[in-house]
Amino acid sequence: MQIRKASRKMTVSLLLAALAGGLLAGCGGNKDNAASSTQGASSPNSGKQVKLRVATSFAGSDPWVSAWTDAVQSFQAANPNIAIVDESTPVNQEALRTKVKADAATGNLADVLFYFNGSETKILQETNEIVSWEDELAKDPEWASTFNAAILDKVKYEDKQYSLPYIGFYEGLFWNKELFDKHQLEAPTTFEAFMKAVDTLAANDIIPIATSLTTPYIQEALVLSQVGPEGQKLAYDPSWAPALNLIKELSDRNAFPRDALTLDDDKAQALFSGGKAAMMFNGSWTAVGLSSNPAIQITPFPLVPGGKGENMIVSGFGSGWYMKKNDDQAQYDAALSFVKYMTSPDVAGKFAAVGGTYAVKTTDTGTTAPLLTAGNEMVAQAKDFVMPIDSFVSRESYTDFLKGLGYLAYGKKTAEEVLAQAKKLSDRNQG
């Protein structure tokens, strides 16, 4: 999952509106809207057989794989002249980024992409091969009206609408109430209760926090809690050091799995969902799977001592739909048809039942998982929110930053050294 500082911070009211029901409300005639979204394929060129290459992150262990597969099959059934070539690639281990970068460099972009917004839009924009959506949205006001206009504006890149935002996310502290109750621990809603839980659980051979130090999320929580939204926007600022030092303190208290330096995020999630760990800081994409255990709760990360980020969360719209320019009208129409179908209320509603919050209207399926609902309520009550750190810094600097956290956790580097090196790389990329 990711935005340039000057244009990417969404307002609290926007997210509250999104989660309070404006985006999750059903709308009249949704089936008709979903059906009409395929009309691009009914152009004069519709008799031509088209192969449509589509690259997304809906692959591997991604929770939306089932919704994606069903949507692709339904679209093809309604459009027999369009064959979808599914080039979806897991987002884990950089596979999706690697693919898209290679395709962009070789002039081989897929016809439709579901890819990251923000700073990574640059990879696609520099090819001069992707559509800016303003004209298509103006041509189809009914379709355009299904999007939240404010969210559209917030994901523009250099004032152009290259991406259509779709699935939003939030991150929070998941915790297992059954394990907490067993050890007579208070909910981790204060830092004191959080740290007491770490010590008590570690002493009883229970992993306090399921996390991977190769793809950590907890550093997002610590930095935001320490410096607040304004401080978080100051990439790799020395003011982050106290938050990063808490990673070292947590490591010293045996808060993390013993193999946290080699563990990947999927395995960290498995430790938590399997009851071997009591807490996990992670995202809304895990909520549906975790909902099978009624003991699992979610709360904002607690305010660290002296921190400025009380009841503030990491949240936003980190990915969206991109479309390649095509001189072949049938190919162009097929791609447009597919994007309109995927963003129709009925199809988006099936994705919404899996997780996240949405930048388009969705039909309520009535199957939203309880933990996901609780997460949405957490976001609605938050004082403020920010996009993740990687949404507004260079990829090179962020990769180095993550590596540095591993060294920091085991005393091989100081927080100041990690931040200085990442800042150096970030400044070099901006220069």
Pairing of strands 384-386, 312-316: parallel
Mean pLDDT of 331-353: 95
Nearest 5°: phi and psi at 49? -75, 130
Q: For domain 171-312+380-430, is the CATH number 2.30.40.10?
A: no
The residue that leads in pLDDT, 429 or 230, is 230
The contacts of residue 77 (CB under 8 Å, 6+ apart) are none
Give the residue from 340, 376, 346, 380 showing the smallest Cα distance to 361.
346
Query: What burial class does residue 412 get, using C-beta atoms within 10 Å of its C-beta: 0-12 exposed, 13-18 middle, 19+ buried?
Result: exposed
pLDDT score, position 25: 36
Average pLDDT over the chain reads 87
pLDDT of 52 over the 60 cut: yes
CA atoms of 166 and 351, how far apart (whole Å): 10
Please give the structure tokens belonging to residue 215. Answer: 């793809």
Mean pLDDT of 374-385: 84
Nearest 5°: phi and psi at 16? -60, -40
pLDDT band at residue 45 using 50, 70 and 90 as cut-offs: very low
The residue that leads in pLDDT, 149 or 236, is 236
* Residue ranges covered by each domain of the chain: 26-166+317-363, 171-312+380-430
pLDDT band at residue 38 using 50, 70 and 90 as cut-offs: very low
pLDDT of 19 over the 80 cut: no
Report whether 409 contacts 25 (CB < 8 A).
no
pLDDT band at residue 46 using 50, 70 and 90 as cut-offs: low
CA atoms of 167 and 355, how far apart (whole Å): 8
Nearest 5°: phi and psi at 429? -75, -25
Helix axes 329-342, 345-352, angle to 10 degrees: 50
pLDDT score, position 18: 36
Q: Classify residue 162 as left (phi > 0), alpha (psi -120 to 50) or beta.
A: alpha
pLDDT band at residue 35 using 50, 70 and 90 as cut-offs: very low
Asked whether the domain spanning 171-312+380-430 has the same topology as the one spanning 26-166+317-363, the reply is yes
pLDDT of 23 over the 60 cut: no
AA letter at 171? E
Mean pLDDT of 249-254: 98
Tens digits of per-residue pLDDT, 81-98?
A: 999 999 999 877 688 899
| CA end-to-end span of the chain | 24
CA atoms of 69 and 153, how far apart (whole Å): 29
User: Would you tell me how many other CB atoms lie within 10 Å of the CB of residue 363?
Assistant: 22
26-166+317-363 fold: D-Maltodextrin-Binding Protein; domain 2 (3.40.190)
pLDDT of 3 over the 60 cut: no
Percentage of residues in the chain having pLDDT higher than 70:
89
pLDDT score, position 7: 30
Count of CA atoms in the C-beta half-sphere (13 A) of 53: 11
Tens digits of per-residue pLDDT, 286-319?
A: 888 898 899 999 999 999 999 999 999 998 888 9
CA atoms of 118 and 394, how far apart (whole Å): 11
Percentage of residues in the chain having pLDDT higher than 90:
68
pLDDT of 4 over the 50 cut: no
